């Protein structure tokens, strides 16, 4: 029984290491980046040092404590432990299924119109709009199209002959970046490529807004 409990404790420990490791990494990046911009090489080294000497030991400490508490709360029982493992296995499976299912383009490029600071074309800060009506029009346009994730190998990197726009939607100070072409999408935030199922996308709205901003 002691060996079984030890095996369960070790299994739980490594499960919580993975879960807490991911959570702590995301929280660390979101908290530290505004304070120590990771685009700066020297500050990146400082950030990595803090992560190694503080975040990793904290993650191991918390994982051990949570594993022990979980066993005391009932996971030492066989069926409770099996159900817990089943749930842990099902979560990533459901996440993968959700990411690969057909979805609306407005789910991929997701934002609340009331939270949009501005929308920018390319990397030119001059080509941006702060009008809420443009955010609403973009949201409406995106909602008309259905997309499905593509494999990386299916994406042709040569987009020189394709018409499209790179847009950045700043929402509450955070960028949502995407390259939008007539028949495919690159979501920079998700790091995924998507094929437009009911394309081609009508890029007239982008053409007109870009021309309007360029004149200004």
Distance CA 111, CA 108 (A): 9
108, 211: one domain: yes
Question: What DSSP character marks residue 116?
Answer: E
75, 120: one domain: no
> Domain of 194: which CATH number?
2.60.40
130, 178: one domain: yes
Of 36-40, 74-78, 134-138, the range with the highest mean pLDDT is 134-138
89, 160: one domain: no
Last residue within a domain, chosen from 100, 118, 151: 100
| pLDDT (mean) for 14-29 | 85
Last residue within a domain, chosen from 77, 100, 123: 100
Distance CA 85, CA 119 (A): 44
Token pair in block for residue 72: 């005391």
pLDDT of residue 138: 95
Last residue within a domain, chosen from 66, 100, 134: 100
56, 108: one domain: no
pLDDT of residue 74: 86
Show the CA angle centred on residue 111, arms to residues 108 and 114, nearest 5°: 165
Of 33-42, 93-102, 109-118, the range with the highest mean pLDDT is 109-118
Is the pLDDT score of 113 beyond 80?
Answer: yes
pLDDT of residue 100: 85
76, 124: one domain: no
208, 118: one domain: yes
Average pLDDT, the chain: 86
Please write the tens of the pLDDT for every residue from 146-185.
Answer: 999 988 777 777 666 788 999 999 998 889 999 999 999 9
Q: What are phi and psi of 156, to 5 degrees?
A: -85, 115
pLDDT of residue 216: 64
30, 88: one domain: yes
Q: What are phi and psi of 183, to 5 degrees?
A: -125, 5
| pLDDT (mean) for 14-33 | 82
96, 6: one domain: yes
30, 94: one domain: yes
43: closest CA among 29, 52, 33, 31? 33
Measure Cα distances from 179 to 87, 90, 108, 202 in Å.
36, 32, 12, 14
- Could you give the number of structural domains in the chain? 2
The domain in which residue 65 lies consists of: 2-100
């Amino acid at each position: 029984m002691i060996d079984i409990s030890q095996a369960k404790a070790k299994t739980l420990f490594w499960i919580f290491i993975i879960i807490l490791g991911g959570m702590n990494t995301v929280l660390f990046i979101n908290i530290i980046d505004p304070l120590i911009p990771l685009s700066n090489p020297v500050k990146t080294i400082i950030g990595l040092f803090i992560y190694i000497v503080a975040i990793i030991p904290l993650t191991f400490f918390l994982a051990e404590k949570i594993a022990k508490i979980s066993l005391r709360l009932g996971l030492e029982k066989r069926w409770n432990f099996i159900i817990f493992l089943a749930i842990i296995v099902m979560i990533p499976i459901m996440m993968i299924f959700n990411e690969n299912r057909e979805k609306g383009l407005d789910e991929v490029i997701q934002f609340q119109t009331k939270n949009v600071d501005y929308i920018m074309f390319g990397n030119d800060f001059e080509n941006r709009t702060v009008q809420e009506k443009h955010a609403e029009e973009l949201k409406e346009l995106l909602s008309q199209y259905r997309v499905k994730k593509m494999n990386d190998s299916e994406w042709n990197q040569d987009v020189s002959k394709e018409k499209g726009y790179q847009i950045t939607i700043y929402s509450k100070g955070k960028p949502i970046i995407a390259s939008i072409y007539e028949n495919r999408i690159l979501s920079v935030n998700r790091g995924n490529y998507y094929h437009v199922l009911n394309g081609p996308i009508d890029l007239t709205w982008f053409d007109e807004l870009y021309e309007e901003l360029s004149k200004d």
